[in-house]
């Protein structure tokens, strides 16, 4: 899978939202059954009044065969799925934790972008499935993500600060003041200003050109096709695990919720197109 990532990035091919390819993004494409034709509903569920949802068992999903034109054959898709499954079972839990320990010892800290780029380490999604989350794996190796990086940022060289900024760009696909300040693995925005003069200067040093004037703004829905609107909604579902009016309104990935209402006749219709079933809470 690493060879696929290197090839796509070397060719200048971009993933969704003009982001570089990672092992996780490649794996999502290889494992997505829509490329052989079916559309699947009911993958996720959120109980009434719950703040988080969960993934339903595959046997409960609703499948609509032939909903899309198949881009690959059944045999090729099955072969890719077998290869992915074989990679997952090759390493024991302890092997996976040892790989994290080695990476931490080599680099001094851990981040999702670093794990995705490391060839001898399983991708982040594999740690999430095996241990219930990346933070759980960190705890098992005695690594505490967070304050220690920012507390010691004065000891970081200029290049180390830029490397971490580039890691964040590979993970998020974009940079903004909020994205930087929300990341526990980076110094705060003010640190970049003190070190490089401006945040824009740090961006330029890693070859990043922010859209517009460099501020993070809500994307305008009218410039997107229906397919792009749904792709962004699907990305938000992957990140947040659920969808709601407030989540869509707050996300930098998606335009305003009213855009989906106008374009698709309602949020429920847009939800169905990404396979998400909204749980309606009773009033009172």
Per-residue confidence (pLDDT) for residue 53, from 0 to 100: 65
Tokens matching residue 26 = 């490649």
* 276, pLDDT greater than 60: yes
Range with lowest mean pLDDT among 118-127, 176-185, 211-220: 211-220
Give which of 194, 196, 192 is closest to 179, Cα–Cα. 192
Cα separation, 66 vs 68, whole angstroms: 5
Predicted confidence band of residue 219 (pLDDT cuts 50, 70, 90): low
Per-residue confidence (pLDDT) for residue 282, from 0 to 100: 37
Looking at residues 126-131, what average pLDDT do you find?
82
* 39, pLDDT greater than 80: yes
Looking at residues 229-244, what average pLDDT do you find?
80
* 281, pLDDT greater than 60: no
* 217, pLDDT greater than 60: no
* 274, pLDDT greater than 80: yes
Tokens matching residue 252 = 């930098």
239 and 233 in contact (C-beta within 8 Å)? no
Predicted confidence band of residue 51 (pLDDT cuts 50, 70, 90): low
């Amino acid at each position: 899978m690493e060879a696929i990532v290197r090839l796509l990035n070397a060719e200048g091919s971009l993933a969704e939202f003009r982001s570089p390819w990672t092992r996780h993004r490649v794996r999502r494409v290889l494992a997505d059954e829509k490329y052989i034709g079916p559309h699947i509903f009911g993958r996720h569920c959120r109980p009434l009044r719950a703040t988080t949802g969960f993934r339903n068992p595959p046997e409960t999903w609703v499948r609509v065969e032939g909903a899309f034109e198949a881009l690959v054959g059944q045999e090729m898709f099955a072969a890719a799925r077998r290869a992915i499954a074989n990679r997952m079972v090759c390493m024991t839990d302890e092997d996976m934790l040892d790989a994290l320990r080695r990476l931490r010892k080599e680099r001094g800290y851990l981040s999702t972008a670093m794990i995705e780029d490391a060839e001898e380490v399983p991708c982040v999604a594999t740690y999430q499935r095996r241990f219930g989350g990346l933070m759980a794996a960190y705890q098992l190796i005695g690594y505490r993500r967070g304050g220690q990086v920012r507390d010691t940022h004065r000891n970081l060289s200029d290049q180390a600060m830029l490397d971490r900024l580039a890691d964040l760009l590979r993970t998020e696909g974009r940079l903004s003041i909020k994205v930087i300040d929300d990341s526990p693995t980076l110094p705060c925005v003010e640190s970049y200003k003190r070190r490089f003069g401006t945040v824009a200067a740090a961006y330029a040093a890693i070859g990043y050109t922010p859209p517009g004037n460099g501020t993070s703004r809500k994307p305008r829905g009218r410039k997107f096709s229906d397919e792009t609107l749904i792709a962004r909604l699907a990305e938000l579902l992957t990140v947040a695990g659920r969808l709601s009016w407030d989540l869509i309104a707050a996300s930098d990935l998606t335009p305003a919720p009213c855009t989906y209402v106008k374009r698709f006749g309602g949020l429920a219709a847009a939800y169905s197109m990404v396979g998400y079933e909204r749980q309606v809470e009773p009033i009172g």
